[in-house]
Amino acid sequence: MNRISGLLLGLMLLMMGELVAQPVQIIPLPVSIQPSGGVFVVDGAVGLLAPANNKAAADVVRYFSNYIDQVSGVKLPLTGGAAKKRQIRFVLAPTKGVGEEGYQLSVTSSGMVVQANEARGLFYGVQSLLQTLPAIRTNQVLQIPCMEVTDYPRFKWRGMMLDVSRHFFSPELVKEFIDLLAAYKMNVFHWHLVDGAGWRIEIKQYPLLTTQAAWRVDDGGKTWNWADVQFNADRSKATYGGFYTQQQIKEIVAYAASKHITVVPEIEMPGHSEAAMAAYPQYSCTPKNTFAQAGNFSARDVQANYCAGNDSAFVFLQNVLAEVLALFPSKYIHIGGDEVDKSSWKECAKCQRRKQVEGLKDEEELQSYFIRRMEKYLVSKGRHMIGWDEILEGGLAPQATVMSWRGEEGGIRAAQMNHDVVMSPGTPCYFDHYQGDPETEPKAFGGFNTLKKVYHYEPVPAALDSNAARHVLGAQANLWTEYIPSNEQVEYMILPRMPALAEVLWSPRAARNWKGFNERLAAHMVGFEQRGLRYSKGNFKVDIKPQVNNGRVLVQLGTEREDGTIYYTTDGSEPGTGSNRYTAPFEIDRSTTLKAAIAVNNSMAANKPAQQSFTFNKATGKQVAYATPNSRYYQANGPATLIDALRGTKEIGQQWHGFNGNDLVATVDLGAPVTAQTASLGCLQHYDQWIFFPQWVKFETSTDGITYTTIATVDNTVPVSDRSGQTKDFSARFAPATFRYLRVTAKNLGVCPPGHPGALQNAWLFCDEIVVE
């Protein structure tokens, strides 16, 4: 070959390498990544070099080799690499700046080096490499883009929780769940093994936990409702459930460890324990409705709590935990501690005696006593207790870590007390909530935690100073499974929200970019499709954001779809590609119905258009004052929500002011006397979300704002047991009257009704528009 031919061949090869090199689509985004052009070809001419005398590192190299074999048939030997001209070297060596979990990656056309301080760093480096390769075997040449990467996580705790009590899932699904976590560098699997609906872990000292408490009457095909959960000692009747043997648990824990994931078990106490109390009622306050009786009995009628005054209950729990500790090497043991209904303790002579002996002033301090006592046991065994944020009630145990789920307040408070915290607020970390339009999504618990909300979550609250912020270990998402009965639904609810959270917890905050994440995610969605994983293709619903300013209503439309174009109508018709194309906010100045939808690639998405009704009337834009403030969790459009012309929909997160246990008493100042003959108040009922229509709505008028006259009281006619999400206008028609002030009172139901999962706890009242015409 002459010099010219050689030069031309070299140029051709270089061009081919440049052409086939694909953009690097790694999730989570590495701290530093510098593509350098060209590719490293993985074929039979490549040798592997692994660190000597390190089993954990050798396991990582074998894991990489097995994946290469799976997607290409190319077998890379774990030894003999030195004889190969092109090598992939895995190196354990002091590596500055990357910590225990970080890694450095260098890929050139002639070789590749993965270096870390520990084997888990090598594992995370491998995960980045695997994301540059095909998801399935296609027999294409395997090529890894040339690049230089330095990478390490932002947070120590990067977790996901799976609830296997409400619905049981096989060991195979649990391992698949772990695989998905590992692929995105998550490192904690929180396993919710115990709850009122079923006990899922074999405890050899207490066999009834698995022969009885692990099973319930099959409720398949029915919409989940805690009030309908039935137990029965007759296993021919109680056919739904399951549990994990101790051998299965050992295998799963070892499997997770091989993926550098810690399994944190949760054993609920002192509440959420109906299944256990039905099997071992002697450890509750007042045994009732147990497996000793014949026939079906409701789980909600079983004692929910362990008796805090019964020393035998603590012995029982310590014996249970002894077997748990033998199975789980995790530093952390989760004890639940949430949603404890303390009414049984108030009526229990043993619990009241315990309060007196210990000098406890109330049941909150009794709960704190319970938690502290269990923490003392765990500490004696060299473990660390973690619990939901209710463990703050009555005083926090000395060494406890708090998992904050009721917003971030509990986590903030604990961190300011110098306790470690894991952030897991319902918004946006509850993955059992809807991620797209509820009208078209599978049935979910409620809420609205979209991919974008998850991606924009910041685990360190602004309220924390730098010293307190150090106590934020990280965050996790929770998958409660009331409405998730199948493996496919588990996949659907975590994909792709889990990769989004993974990037929040791994990547530098300043480097996160929503558009860039979407571009990288596209390749991962192709992989989900190829591997047969069920996943959400995104939130196609248009976000309608009206704003009221000086009586004018401006509407902004938005979408999470970077590839979407918004079309809208203002006459109530269905939008299409021939309708108004959204480019900028616009004004609505009359009563109408706005509908908006997304087109992708010039084709309208198949979901139902977003819709917002506007009702302009004599009260629109006027002044309104509340006798009792609405909940800070439901602010909607702020103080003007009741008179902003925007009608609430079935979505609880928009346009509604919520009142927890309180009545709505709102007074509208119309600015000047008006003559009207109708008045109405819009309300929402959503049984599953503890939201109920008011018992009645009363309308009163006044000319001076001092003396009021009742003009109408409208009673509710919808049963509280109606579980369908629905809105209702409480409307009154009266003889024409002239007035300046209108006072509207909506009577809260007070507490959730008997048979409801929240029976006797505060009911929510949701109100929206006041209309005067």
Task: Name the residue with tokens 């108040």.
Answer: 681
Cα distance between residue 753 and residue 128, in whole Å: 52
C-alpha 232/C-alpha 215 separation (Å) is 8
Given the residues 167, 192, 260, 272, the one annotated as active site: 272
To the query of whether residue 339 is one of the catalytic residues in this protein, the response is: yes
Among the listed residues 133, 129, 132, the one whose alpha carbon sits nearest the alpha carbon of residue 114: 129
| Alpha-carbon span 206 to 274, nearest angstrom | 15
How far apart, in whole angstroms, are the C-alpha atoms of residue 293 and residue 178? Answer: 40
User: Among residues 736, 623, 759, which one has the least CA distance to residue 687?
Assistant: 759
Other beta carbons within 10 angstroms of residue 241's beta carbon come to: 23
420 carries an active-site annotation? no
Q: Which residues fall within 8 angstroms of residue 466, CB to CB, at 6 or more apart?
A: none
Coil, helix or strand at residue 210 = helix
Alpha helices, DSSP H, located in 131-245:
171-183, 208-211
Q: Which of 195, 503, 560, 644 is catalytic?
A: 195
State which amino acid sits at residue 571: D
Which candidate, 363, 181, 208, 178, places its Cα nearest to that of 275?
208
Q: Report the candidate in 767, 751, 759 with the shortest Cα–Cα distance to residue 634.
A: 767
Instruction: Please state, as a whole number, how many other Cβ atoms lie within 10 Å of the Cβ of residue 175.
Output: 15
Q: Are 166 and 193 in contact (CB under 8 A)?
A: no
Tokens 């709850």 found at: 195
Q: For this structure, is 272 an active site residue?
A: yes
Nearest to 173 by CA among 529, 492, 487, 485: 487
* CA neighbor of 370 nearest in space, from 351, 343, 344, 349: 351
N-terminal to C-terminal alpha carbon distance within the chain: 93
| Helices 363-380 and 311-327: angle between axes, nearest 10 degrees | 40
Candidate list 338, 339, 529, 729, residue with the active-site label: 339
State which amino acid sits at residue 277: M
Looking at residue 690, the DSSP 8-state letter turns out to be T
Active-site amino acid positions: 195, 272, 339
